């Protein structure tokens, strides 16, 4: 669906998380969004912590980001996107923010699905699907649940639950960079998210053959401590159907 909406085919989609994650005014935040999109990226992203703080209320951020989006689109002739974080304390408030995003004409919103909860995520996913919005999923809080091997729940289960709940992108680890994971295990996540039919592969943690039937796939996102020198490895690991996000790797780079 992303490729049809963005009219971009045959390569991974490129994104950037706006840094610093907290402290910018809505206007300066919008300027950073514009510069990243104008520079050639397909997407920019709210960090999971960016919500509606006193220094940047959500409505102001949505407005300035939409302005940046349209300006970059007009100057490049490409379709761009910014993941507007719609996560909120209640389902009603989340839907309200998603409605506002749709009224602004932006193509995508974002949700922290573990902090928001599965019911809230499914409600938002249904709204997005019915109204032509893409839904980017951030896995904030996953390490509390899946990092410790002796208790909790493996991310493979959380990823599969997300596919059942609904979403278009989800962070799946990078193999290289800051949030790295074992290569085979990460590829197991990618298979479960992306493929219709997943063959048994114990090395990847897939212990039995699974048929996704007509369940919509989810595009894996590689994000966290990656930069331009990781590109060859990332494209080799994830292939074309992925989103590669360089936050500090873009904004922290002297050439931007």
The residues assigned a catalytic role are 19, 138
Find out whether 52 and 89 touch, Cβ atoms under 8 Å.
no
DSSP state of 230: G
Q: Closest Cα partner for 155 from 205, 222, 215?
A: 205
Q: Are 247 and 12 in contact (CB under 8 A)?
A: no
Half-sphere exposure (Cβ direction) of 204: Cα atoms closer than 13 Å: 15
Q: What are phi and psi of 147, to 5 degrees?
A: -70, -40
**Listed residue (222, 127, 204, 120) closest to 162, CA to CA:** 120
Work out the angle between the directed axes of helices 183-194 and 231-238 (0-180°, nearest 10): 50
> Cis (ω within 30 of 0) for the bond into 72?
no
Give the 3-state secondary structure of 112-176.
EHHHHCHHHHHHHHHHHHHCCCEEEEECCCHHHHHCCCCCCCCHHHHHHHHHHHCCCEEECCCCC
Residue of 130, 183, 140, 192 whose CA lies nearest to 161: 192
């Amino acid at each position: 669906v992303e490729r049809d909406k963005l009219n971009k085919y045959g390569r991974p989609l490129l994104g950037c998380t706006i840094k610093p994650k907290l402290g910018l005014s809505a206007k300066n935040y919008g300027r950073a969004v514009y510069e990243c999109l104008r520079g050639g990226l397909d997407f920019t992203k709210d960090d999971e912590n960016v919500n509606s703080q006193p220094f940047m209320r959500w409505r102001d951020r949505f407005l300035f980001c939409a302005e940046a989006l349209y300006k970059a689109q007009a100057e490049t002739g490409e379709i761009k996107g910014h993941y507007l974080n719609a996560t909120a304390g209640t389902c009603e408030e989340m839907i309200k923010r998603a409605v506002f995003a749709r009224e602004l004409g932006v193509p995508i919103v974002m949700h922290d699905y573990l902090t928001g909860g599965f019911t809230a995520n499914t409600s938002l996913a249904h709204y997005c699907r019915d109204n032509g919005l893409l839904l980017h999923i951030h896995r904030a809080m996953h390490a509390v649940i899946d990092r410790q091997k002796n208790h909790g729940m493996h991310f493979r289960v959380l990823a599969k639950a997300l596919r059942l709940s609904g979403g278009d992108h989800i962070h799946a680890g990078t193999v290289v960079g800051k949030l790295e994971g074992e290569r085979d295990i990460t590829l197991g996540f990618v298979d479960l998210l992306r493929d219709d039919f997943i063959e048994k592969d114990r090395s990847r943690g897939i212990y039995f053959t699974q048929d996704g039937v007509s369940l919509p796939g989810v595009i894996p996102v590689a994000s966290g401590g990656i930069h331009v020198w990781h590109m060859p490895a990332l494209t080799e690991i994830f292939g074309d159907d992925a989103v590669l996000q360089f936050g500090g790797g873009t904004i922290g780079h002297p050439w931007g």
